[in-house]
Amino acid sequence: MQPLAPGSLRILHLSDTHLTGDGALHQGSTDTATALDAVLASAERIPDVGLVVVSGDVSEDGSPQSYAVLRERVGGWAERHGAALVTVPGNHDQRAGFRQVLANGHVLGAGGQPLMHTLEYLPPTVPVAGQSVVEGRRIVTVDTSVPGAGYGLVADEALDRLRTMLSEPSDRGTVVVLHHTPLPAPTALHAALQLRNADTLAEVVRGTDVRLVLGGHYHHHAAGTWAGVPVLVAPGVANDTDVVGAYDEESAHIDAGYLVVDLAADGSVWSTPVRVPRPDADPLAFHHDADTVTRIIDAAG
């Protein structure tokens, strides 16, 4: 992996971990804790990660035990790497279990230091909301989940909160993290589960200091612009949606990946998608050691 440019923030962006409290297989086929471990092992050698983001559908069953798996494994990775950790609920999450273990989703601050939260009971009807600052960037989470539903909606109180927050620009811009990404959906099923008030949210975001939106939900990497801002969808940890199949059908492959997103000092965004190979199914095609690479570079002038 390339070294981080001075002044940039490097974000390890994961999504849709669909962890289970009892180890049950996701969709009857995927051990999601093992898939998460493979993703974290793959990311082990990435230098200079300042922030880890998990953009929703953290859990499949909403149990506190499932959130504890994330806290332990992703939180442990972030602490070892000196990175912050921010997460947000998706449609499969349940706010009660999420809050019990992950509070408002801003779990670790800059340098991987645990963030303190006041213990306050909030009913599941209240969206999870939070913000933190990592290397001068304001990281804002927007809860798009609707209790009991699969589609996304940003509640009026969350819109008001975001509008108020963005009225004051931050030092080095804002990153918005949400689950239901406001980009077109690849299949009919995902289209039915889209963010329903993306246009209203766009009015709040457009023209502000938001530099980047990070989302998930589609279980497949996509990138676009919305409200004048780059939007990145992380591939799923749990599986990968078949986006070239029939639009009105839905299937997924056992596959996992993540994004490495560099946010430069001037607000430029550069994302490197990484697919996590499975040694049984994906044999290495070739390998050059460092000396060989040096010879090739020299020969190329």
Footprint of Fe ion on residues 55-84 (CB under 5 A)?
A: 57
Q: How far is the CB of 16 from Fe ion (least distance, A)?
A: 4
C-alpha–C-alpha distance, residues 172 and 174, integer Å:
7
Please report, as residue ranges, which positions from 40 to 59 form the binding site for Fe ion (by CB under 5 A): 57
CB neighbours of 213 closer than 8 A, spacing ≥ 6? 175, 176, 177, 178, 181, 182, 205, 226, 227, 229, 230, 231, 232
Size of the site for Fe ion (CB under 5 A): 2
Tokens 């009991």 -> residue: 148
Of 4 and 196, the one with the shorter C-beta distance to Fe ion is: 196
Burial bucket for residue 170 (CB in 10 Å: 0-12, 13-18, 19+): buried
Q: How far is the CB of 217 from Fe ion (least distance, A)?
A: 6
- Residues 6 or more apart whose CB falls under 8 angstroms from that of 239 comprise 26, 27, 29, 30, 219, 252, 253, 254, 255, 256
Smallest distance from the beta carbon of 68 to Fe ion, in angstroms? 19
Nearer to Fe ion among residue 90 and residue 127 (C-beta): 90
* Nearest residue (CB) to Fe ion, 104 versus 181: 181
Which DSSP symbol is given to 91?
T
Q: How far is the CB of 89 from Fe ion (least distance, A)?
A: 11
Of 109 and 216, which has the nearer Cβ to Fe ion?
Answer: 216
- Given the complex with Fe ion, which of 150 and 267 has the nearer CB atom? 150
240: contact with Fe ion by CB under 5 A: no
Q: Distance between CA 149 and CA 159 in Å, rounded?
A: 19
Q: Indicate the residue among 16 and 143 with the shorter CB distance to Fe ion.
A: 16
How far apart are the C-alpha atoms of 167 and 76, rounded to whole Å? 35
Closest distance between Fe ion and the C-beta of residue 123, in Å? 24
Look up tokens 């996701």; give the residue.
26
Binding track, positions 5-24, relative to Fe ion; x by CB under 5 A: -----------x--------
Q: What does residue 38 show for φ and ψ, rounded to 5 degrees?
A: -65, -40
Nearer to Fe ion, 19 or 158 (CB): 19
- H or E stretch including 109? strand 106-109
The residue whose Cβ lies closest to Fe ion is: 57
Q: How far is the CB of 147 from Fe ion (least distance, A)?
A: 16
At its nearest, how many Å lie between Fe ion and the CB of residue 175?
Answer: 21
Binding site for Fe ion (CB under 5 A): 16, 57
